[in-house]
Structure 1
Amino acid sequence: MKHCQKGDYESGFEYFTKAAELGDVGALYNLSCMYREGEGEVVEKDEKKGLYYLEEAAIAGHPDARYNLGCDEGINQRYERAAKHFIIAANLGHDKSVQVLKESYAAGKVSKEDFAAALRAHQAAVDATKSPQREAANA
Structure 2
Amino acid sequence: MKATARSAACRLLEEAAIAGHPQARYNLAGYEWRNERFDRAVKHWIIAANLGYDDSIQRLKESYKDGLVSKEDFAGALRAHQAAIDATKSPQREAAEKYLAKNAHRIIYN
**TM-score for both structures, normalised by structure 1:** 0.67
**Secondary structure in 1 aligned to 2:24?**
helix
Match of 2:49 in 1: 90
Kindly indicate whether structure 1 or structure 2 has the higher relative contact order, using CA contacts under 8 Å at least 6 residues apart. Answer: 2
Cα distance, 1:137 vs. partner? 0.7
Partner of 1:112: 71
Structure 2 match to 1:99:
58
Superposed, 1:60-139 pairs within 5 Å as: 60-139=19-98
- Equivalent-residue separation in structure 2 for 1:89 and 1:119 (angstroms): 11
Query: Runs of at least 4 residues of structure 1 off by over 2 A?
Result: none
Structure 1 gap ranges (5+): 1-35, 37-44
Q: By how many angstroms is 1:68 displaced?
A: 0.4
Q: Deviations over 1:58-109 (max 9, x none)?
A: 0111001000010111111111110000000000000000000001001111
How many residue pairs end up in the alignment?
Answer: 96
Task: Identify the residue that residue 103 of structure 2 maps to in structure 1.
Answer: none
Q: Would you say 1:47 and 2:3 are equivalent positions?
A: no
Q: Give 5+ residue unaligned stretches, structure 2.
A: 99-110
TM alignment of 1:20-31, pairs within 5 A: none
Superposition RMSD on alpha carbons, in Å? 1.2
Instruction: Tell me the percent identity.
Output: 67
